[in-house]
A and B are shown apart, each in its own frame.
Chain A
Amino acid sequence: MKLHRLARRELLAALGFLAPSLAGFSVFYLIPFGQSVLNSFQDRLGGSFTLSNYKELLLSSSFQKAASNTFWFTAISVPILVAVSLMLALLLNQRVFIRNWLRTAYVLPLVVPVASIVLVWQILFDWNGALNAVLQHFGHSRHDWMKSEWAGFVIVLVYVWKNIGYNVILFLAGLQNIPDPYYEIADLEGAGSVRKLFGITLTYLTPTTFLVVLMSVLNSFKVFRETYLVAGAYPHDRIYMMQHYMNNMFLSLDIQKVSSAAVFMALCITALVLVLFRTERIFRSYME
Chain B
Amino acid sequence: MKKEWVTPLLRSLLLMAVAVLLLMPVVLTVVSSFMTEREIAANYGMLGKTDTSVFVNLKWIPDWVSFQQYNKVLIATPKFLYLFWNSVYLVAPIIIGQASVATLAAFAFGKLVFPGREGLFFLYLMTMLMPFQVTLVPNYLMADRLGLLNHPGSIILPGVFGAFGVFLLRQFMLHIHSAYIEAAKMDGAGYLRIFLSVALPMVKPGIAALLVLLFVDYWNMVEQPLIFLQDAAMQPLSVFLSRLQKEEFGVSFAVSVVYMMPMVLLFLSAERYFIEGIQLSGVKG
Give residues in A with beta carbon < 8 Å to B: 7, 10-11, 13-18, 20-22, 24-25, 27-33, 35-36, 39, 88, 91-92, 94-98, 101-120, 122-123, 126-130, 132-133, 136, 161, 164-166, 169-174, 177, 207-208, 210-212, 214, 217-218, 221-222, 224-225, 228-229, 242-243, 246-247, 250, 255, 258-259, 262, 265-266, 269-270, 273, 280
Contact between B48 and A91, CB atoms less than 8 A apart: no
Instruction: Please tell me if B201 contacts chain A, counting CB pairs below 8 Å.
Output: no
Pick the contact of B55 from A112, A116, A130, A221 — CB < 8 Å? A130
Complex: how many Å from CA A117 to CA B115? 46
Complex: how many Å from CA A15 to CA B55? 62
Contact between B56 and A115, CB atoms less than 8 A apart: no
Complex: how many Å from CA A27 to CA B227? 19
- Given known pairs A21-B166, A112-B26, A169-B275, the reply for A28 and B12 (CB within 8 Å) is no
Complex: how many Å from CA A164 to CA B130? 21
Shortest distance between the CB of A129 and any CB in chain B (Å): 6
Contact between A32 and B142, CB atoms less than 8 A apart: yes
Pick the contact of A20 from B12, B104, B212, B271 — CB < 8 Å? B104
Complex: how many Å from CA A10 to CA B112? 7
- In addition to A14-B114, A21-B102, A36-B137, 19 A-B residue pairs with Cβ atoms within 8 Å of each other are A13-B112, A15-B114, A24-B160, A25-B124, A29-B161, A32-B141, A88-B15, A95-B8, A104-B268, A111-B216, A113-B263, A115-B242, A116-B256, A128-B47, A166-B278, A169-B279, A255-B137, A258-B133, A273-B129
Shortest distance between the CB of B40 and any CB in chain A (Å): 11
Pick the contact of A29 from B127, B227, B257 — CB < 8 Å? B127
Stretch at the interface among B63-71, B74-82, B218-226: B218-226
Contact between A174 and B138, CB atoms less than 8 A apart: no
Contact between B222 and A228, CB atoms less than 8 A apart: yes
Pick the contact of B127 from A25, A92, A161 — CB < 8 Å? A25
Contacts of B274 in A (CB 8 A): 107
Contacts of B219 in A (CB 8 A): 113
Pick the contact of B105 from A18, A105, A171, A177 — CB < 8 Å? A18
Complex: how many Å from CA A25 to CA B238? 26
Q: How large is the interface on B (under 10, 10 to 19, 20 to 34, 35 or more residues)?
A: 35 or more
Contact between B284 and A207, CB atoms less than 8 A apart: yes
Contact between A18 and B104, CB atoms less than 8 A apart: yes
Contact between B256 and A136, CB atoms less than 8 A apart: no
- Given known pairs A108-B22, A172-B279, the reply for A128 and B108 (CB within 8 Å) is no
Shortest distance between the CB of A138 and any CB in chain B (Å): 13
Contacts of A105 in B (CB 8 A): 19, 22-23
Complex: how many Å from CA A270 to CA B105? 22
Contact between A21 and B105, CB atoms less than 8 A apart: yes
Q: B31-53 CB contact bits vs A (8 Å, 1 = yes)?
A: 00000000000001011111010
Complex: how many Å from CA A108 to CA B248? 27
Contacts of B23 in A (CB 8 A): 105, 108-109
Complex: how many Å from CA A210 to CA B128? 16
Contact between A17 and B275, CB atoms less than 8 A apart: no
Within 8 A of A (CB), among B126-174: 126-142, 157-158, 160-161, 163, 166
Contact between B282 and A211, CB atoms less than 8 A apart: yes
Instruction: Please tell me if B58 contacts chain A, counting CB pairs below 8 Å.
Output: yes
Complex: how many Å from CA A208 to CA B46? 46
Contacts of A269 in B (CB 8 A): 126, 129-130, 134
Complex: how many Å from CA A270 to CA B127? 10
Instruction: Please tell me if B119 contacts chain A, counting CB pairs below 8 Å.
Output: no
Contacts of A250 in B (CB 8 A): 133, 136-137, 140, 227
Pick the contact of B279 from A95, A130, A170, A255 — CB < 8 Å? A170
Lowest 8 A-B CB distances belong to which pairs? A32-B138, A24-B161, A173-B279, A221-B131, A21-B105, A115-B241, A133-B55, A105-B19
Most buried by A among B15, B28, B142, B252: B15
Contact between A242 and B131, CB atoms less than 8 A apart: yes
Complex: how many Å from CA A102 to CA B17? 10
Nearest B-chain residue to A9, judged by Cβ: B191
Pick the contact of B125 from A29, A212, A273 — CB < 8 Å? A273
Contacts of A97 in B (CB 8 A): 8-9, 12
Nearest B-chain residue to A228, judged by Cβ: B222
Contact between B138 and A118, CB atoms less than 8 A apart: no
- Given known pairs A122-B47, A127-B50, A128-B54, the reply for A210 and B275 (CB within 8 Å) is no
Most buried by B among A15, A25, A259: A25
Complex: how many Å from CA A24 to CA B100? 13
Instruction: Please tell me if B283 contacts chain A, counting CB pairs below 8 Å.
Output: yes
Instruction: Please tell me if B273 contacts chain A, counting CB pairs below 8 Å.
Output: no
Complex: how many Å from CA A36 to CA B137? 7
